[in-house]
Amino acid sequence: MNAIDPIVSAPLYAGRTGVFPKKIDGPFRRFKWLVMAVCLAVYWGTPWIRWDRGPHAPGQAVLIDLAHRRFYMFAIEIWPQEFYFVAGMLIMAGIGLFLVTSAVGRAWCGYACPQTVWTDLYQHVDRLIDGDRNAQMRLNAAPWSPAKITRRAFKWSVYLGIAFVTGGAWIFYFADAPTLQRAFWTGTAAPVAYASTGILTFTTFWLGGFMREQVCIYMCPWPRIQTAMLDENSLTVTYKHWRGEPRGSLKEAKNAASPIGDCIDCQQCVAVCPTGIDIREGPQIGCITCALCVDACDKAMASVGRARGLIDYCTLIDAEREIKGEPARPVVSVLLRPRLIAYFAVWGGIGLALLFMLGARERLTLSVARERNPEFVQLSGGAVRNAFTLALRNMEDRPRTLRIAAEGLPGAVFYTDDMAPGAARPTLDVAVPADSTAKVRLYAVVPAAYAHEQDFALIAAPLDHEGRSPRRETHFAAPETEHEDEEHE
């Protein structure tokens, strides 16, 4: 232990140090505005886009219809058994994250993450109501007076309003938006709609209004995962210490004996940081690479007539090159490296495979479950009966009639629960309503002469002759033929 350690008493638990980011303008800030506007517009606007699917399906472009187990996305309709499309899209999102992280580092964190977008929105509300950084800090430090209470109450109401429209918008993805909105305000919506709105309003209010950067630093696993995915070729926001150090103000530079760095220690990079870190301490978990400090530093450098880019996006390799005095590599050569190409190939391959499957998927399917208890029923006249449960899935927005017939089962006649056994016929027509599944319990009766164990196929041919007729191989079970029977026949 070091004998010169100063002795202090530290509290057991640390309070949050407030973050009051200063307003800044610059290319990255404007880009961040753009991303934020697009993200919020997509989030709030999507459920209100209409999409005409005809009389048998909802008219909402993007709809997760949990009650009817359908997922609609513009022209695509996904049934539960096609959920692999969603799984594929999630895998694409995952690999897309690898791709983006390898290329541009934590761009997701800096620009598109909902926590970032809403924190940014709330910080803007802070600046609108309380003023910029210094005014906010003054108000924060001020004792609780009626004026401060009023101001805080007003600001938190605005927080709550934003949180409510955020939490409230979520439910419109799960039901027809205009209908649900009317039901919501008249108190007739489902309880889960109010509960979801309440929970998401609270989480938005709390996470966006108060937790903010603590979510990124303490709660979120992404920073850890993304940090593991970064490599020496990934872009990170870098303070070019080889150019900036030793730092010193203009006054100090004048009086300094030895040459001094470009950093004028103006603290603007710290002031604008939405997570309250000092980028000059190097890459760190709190840095979401939003590049607002780049804007701030460029502005400061311009005001003292020095070159921009003291803080800038930079890869570790380029940082070493710059330290050695070599020029940075062109962006294209950084992007066209094997790792990124491989990620892109996998990502694109999955995307193409999904598109192919989407184009080739069947919109009319038949599944056949053979009754196994009992496997067969011996009828009094010698015929043998098997039962099958057929699921006829019509995934199109029009009703269709299918003709059920057997292939390779001589003499077979069929009847269903709705028919008398005597009315059995070699083929049956089943009407399947639009966008639904018809379940049919099918009895197949095979006369004694042909009643033996055999494989056969059931075919459901649409009477409109459009598209393929689904076909399923199955089996006909029969009792073992007795020896004495054969003697006789």
Partner 1 sequence: MTHDKTHVGKVIDQATGTAKVGHEWDGIEELDTPLPRWWLWTFYATIAFALVYVVLYPAIPMFHSASTGTLGWTSRGALAGDLDHEKAEHQAVRNAIAATPIEALAANPALQRAAIEGGHAAFKVNCVQCHGSGAAGAKGYPNLNDDDWLWGGDLSAIQQTLVNGIRYPGNDATRASQMPSFGRDGILTAPQVQDVVRFVRVISKQEPAGAASARGAVLFANNCAVCHGAGGEGNRSVGAPKLTDRIWLYGGDRAALTETVTYAHGGVMPAWGGRLDPVTIKMLAVYVHSLGGGEAAPAAPASGAAQ
Inter-residue contact 273 to 21 (CB < 8 Å): yes
Site for partner 1 in 414-443 (CB under 8 A): 417, 420-421, 443
> Binder to partner 1 among 382, 408, 426, 433 (CB under 8 A)?
382
Q: Which two tokens stand for residue 222?
A: 């992404």
Cβ 377 to partner 1 shortest distance, Å: 4
Structure tokens, 413: 């006649």
Stretch that binds partner 1, among 4-12, 27-35, 54-62, 455-463 (CB under 8 A): 4-12
Helix or strand or coil: residue 459?
strand
Which listed residue (316, 354, 377, 457) binds partner 1 by CB under 8 A?
377
Token pair recorded at residue 345:
């190939």
Under 8 Å between Cβ of 120 and 36: yes
Q: Is 16 in the site for partner 1 (CB under 8 A)?
A: yes
Q: Sketch the per residue contact string, 439 through 468, with partner 1: x for CB under 8 A, - otherwise.
A: ----x----x--------------------
For the segment 470-489, give every residue that binds partner 1 (CB under 8 A). 484-485, 488
328 or 448: whose CB is closer to partner 1? 448
AA letter at 467: G
Dihedral of CA atoms 320, 321, 323, 328 in degrees, nearest 10, equals: -120
Per-residue x/- track, 153-192, partner 1 (CB under 8 A): ----------------------------------------
Start-end of H helices in 79-145? 84-104, 107, 114-130, 133-141
Neighbours of 422 (CB within 10 A): 6
Distance CA 404, CA 406 (A): 7
412, 459 contact by CB (below 8 A): no
Residue 213 one-letter amino acid: E
Distance CA(424)–CA(387), nearest Å, equals 13
Candidate list 6, 143, 187, 327; residue touching partner 1; CB under 8 A: 6
For partner 1, the closer of residues 52 and 484 by Cβ is: 484
Exactly one of 350, 379, 434, 438 binds partner 1 (CB under 8 A); that residue is 379
Name the residue among 98, 118, 114, 95 with its Cα closest to residue 106. 98
Q: How far is the CB of 486 from partner 1 (least distance, A)?
A: 12
Query: Is 381 strand, coil or helix?
Result: coil
Nearer to partner 1, 13 or 185 (CB): 13
Piece in contact with partner 1 (CB under 8 A), picked from 28-36, 259-267, 378-386, 406-414: 378-386
Local structure of residue 81 (DSSP, 8 states): G
**Tokens standing for residue 282:** 């190097």
Q: Does 220 bind partner 1 (CB under 8 A)?
A: no
Positions in 389-418 near partner 1 (CB under 8 A): 417
State yes or no: residue 255 binds partner 1 (CB under 8 A): no
By CB under 8 A, is residue 146 in contact with partner 1?
A: no
**Residue whose entry in the numeric block shows the structure tokens 């041919």:** 461
Read off φ and ψ for residue 330, nearest 5 degrees. -65, 150
Per CB under 8 A, the list member of 214, 227, 249, 469 interacting with partner 1 is 214
327 binds partner 1 (CB under 8 A): no
Which is closer to partner 1, CB of 97 or CB of 279? 279
DSSP notation for 414-441 = EEETTS-GGG-BS-EEEEE-TTEEEEEE
Cβ closer to partner 1: 231 or 371?
371
Query: Binding residues for partner 1, how many (CB under 8 A)?
Result: 38
Q: Which two tokens stand for residue 52?
A: 């005409």
User: Least CB distance from residue 88 to partner 1, whole Å?
Assistant: 37
| Residue range at the interface with partner 1 (CB under 8 A); choices 8-16, 97-105, 253-261, 323-331 | 8-16
Q: Which residues bind partner 1 (CB under 8 A)?
A: 1-2, 4-16, 211, 214, 218, 371-374, 377-382, 385, 387, 417, 420-421, 443, 448, 484-485, 488
